Chains A and B, each alone.
Chain A
Amino acid sequence: MNALSDRSRDIGPFVEKEGDDLLVCRCEEITKGEIRKAVHDGMWTITEIRRYLRAGMGLCQGQTCSKLVKGIVARELGISPAELEPATSRAPMRPIEMRVFAEESKEDHDEN
């Protein structure tokens, strides 16, 4: 059992700290305080944080903030960032307009 699988572990109450108003995820405008609080609300994995707060779910898809978010969550849990599984990688890997995403090229199919 690792530090993450024991969800009954007491990590103490959420206490506001200086710097909580610092923006971390620029795309979705999520602050350090919101991420810290989410951990105390029970969000212990990056996947949970993403679903709960949308941190790392914006235009840049976490390219800028994912390391920062990981660092904050790990510190709050008292573990190494390397113990936290990074977010799932999904297509599309880059921001793409829906009208383009839906535009399946016909020429490729014609060749087979």
Chain B
Amino acid sequence: MKRYDLIIVGAGPAGLSAAIEAAKRGIKTVVFDENSRPGGQLFKQIHKFFGSKEHRAKIRGYVIGGQLLDEARKSGVEVILDATVIGLYQDREVVVKLGEAIHHFKGNAVIVATGASENMINFPGWTLPGVIGAGAAQTMLNLHGVLPGKRVLMLGSGNVGLVVSFQLMQCGCEVAAIVDAAPRVGGYGVHASKVARTGVPFYLSHTIVKAEGYDHVTGVTIAEVDEHFSFIPGTEKHFDVDTICLAVGLSPMSQLLKMAGCKMSDDPKKGGQVPICDTYGRTSLSGIFAAGDVSAIEEASSAMIEGRMAGVCAAEYLGYIDEEEEKKELAELDDALNGLRQGMFAPGNRGKAIEKTEEGIDISKNLLKNGFVAEDEIERYPGVTHREGIHPVIECTQNIPCNPCQDACRQGCISIGDKITSLPIVTKDSKCTGCGMCVASCSGQAIFLVNEDCGDGSATVTLPYEFLPLPEEGSKGIGLGRDGKKVCDAEVVSVRSLDVYDKTNLLTMRVPKEYAMKARFFRKA
């Protein structure tokens, strides 16, 4: 039986981060992953991440995946792919299917970072080809370059549903609607807004009645639900679609830990059956640790920190660092994790209806119900100001832990302050040069550069644009409002695509000046 100091199951953000922490201390570490590519879900994440610099904010997920993999290889981690761990037994014996045979390994310590699987819900027609998980759709699009369909209905308005809807459109699919049985949009408002402004309707308090079709999906009927989630007769709506994506949550894949004999608990707040462990991932069995979604559903940024925590704990357990060093390292990681677990979407706030921002401003009701901030609501947020000449308009209306915009502006136009969840404000005496770095740095695509009066009756609006092909300068089209409906005619003044923008193009359109604060997206005529 081959022996390793540390065996890690799962080469996702948590597993790789744990491996790096361990290997850089000289620990002989192997990572097994059942997929043929490492990185877990990271390589499917083509959007820019939220957070602060230390959380790798504004970097696209797949780039973070590449960075982790590089770091892991440089630190001497052995990553074995197409390696399916089928069992975890007493005394940390790990049984792995490699190729056509079964291999046994022994780990002096084991970190389980197996992640999560998608939940399903069932309705008449749910077994028809064309009903797929949103994560599966994302795998098809971003890893295999295959469109799941042409016209899609998305069930679920959490971040997965919102992000995948946007990516489906980037790949050329049409998203017919985003539907959620909950009365409020579950994901970040900025993610909802970037989808809504392209014209995708949101149906909250609605769910699927049935999928239609004989041998594949040809349509879907949804209906409104009351507070007990029962259908309200007469509220049915039909959509012709060929694909239904389900983004209805994730469940931890914790079976290996249960098999090993770890104490488990069923915790709906954590997504299902999870190992009972301390904040650093130490389970009830000595030498077995858990990190990432397997111990509670969160997201990739926290999984990376949890992975590093588990790696540090394993290093101490194996005697490569002493308790004092472990304590110091964990305290630093605690701070980083706490930084992420702030704001309206913090794990402790899950399911709560939040009425006001930390600044005491009313949350946009329309954002939660329809996916966009209404015109009569937008002016109350501190990032939305008016002045002469070009200036940033920051339509960031919820407290989320994210601050790259503050560092992006060299002129010091944007300030968030020390509290990472604070809404960004436009500072008083700064001079915007129109460089557009703030627009490109906002992971939520919520910053616009507006010149409200160009002197000739027109205004210009610069917006983040991530669809190909790019409209050409001079092309005519329409300006869409935050709700995705036509507000005016528009003409493309310029499209800037600098390397520093990292694939977020800056499209500047000219609109009549009365629409300067209304037009937020461009569609070619």
Contacts and interface: CB of A to CB of B under 8 A. Distances in A.
Interface of A: 19, 22-24, 26, 32, 63-65, 67-68, 81-82, 84-86, 88-94, 96, 99-101, 103-105, 107-109, 111-112
Nearest to A64: B120
Contact of B266 (A86, A92, A103, A104): A86
B255 interface: yes
A91 B255 CA distance: 9
B87 A82 contact: no
Nearest to B264: A86
Given A23-B127, A67-B251, A91 B87 contact: yes
B513 to A, nearest CB: 54
B100 A100 contact: yes
Nearest to A100: B100
Given A104-B101, A104-B102, A93 B259 contact: yes
Contact of A63 (B98, B117, B124, B267): B117
A93 B255 CA distance: 7
A64 B97 CA distance: 22
Given A23-B127, A32-B122, A100-B101, 4 more contacts: A67-B251, A68-B121, A94-B34, A103-B101
B139 to A, nearest CB: 15
B259 A89 contact: yes
Contacts of B100: 99-100, 103
28 contacts: A22-B122, A22-B126, A23-B127, A63-B117, A67-B119, A81-B266, A81-B268, A82-B266, A86-B258, A86-B264, A86-B266, A90-B259, A91-B86, A91-B87, A93-B85, A93-B87, A93-B255, A94-B84, A96-B97, A99-B100, A100-B97, A103-B101, A105-B101, A105-B104, A108-B1, A108-B104, A111-B1, A112-B1
A85 B258 CA distance: 12
A109 B255 contact: no
Contacts, number: 89
B356 interface: no
A91 B95 contact: yes
Contact of B2 (A67, A100, A108): A108
B86 A92 contact: yes
B103 A105 contact: yes
B119 A103 contact: no
B460 to A, nearest CB: 50
B2 A22 contact: no
B254 to A, nearest CB: 8
A88 B261 CA distance: 11
Question: Most chain-B CB neighbours within 10 Å: which of A64, A99, A108?
Answer: A108
B505 interface: no
A103 B195 CA distance: 51
Contacts of A32: 122
Contacts of A100: 97, 100-102
Contacts of A93: 84-87, 255-256, 259
B504 to A, nearest CB: 36
Contacts of A81: 266, 268
A96 B120 contact: no
Nearest to A85: B266
B187 interface: no
Contact of A89 (B102, B119, B255, B266): B255
B423 to A, nearest CB: 37
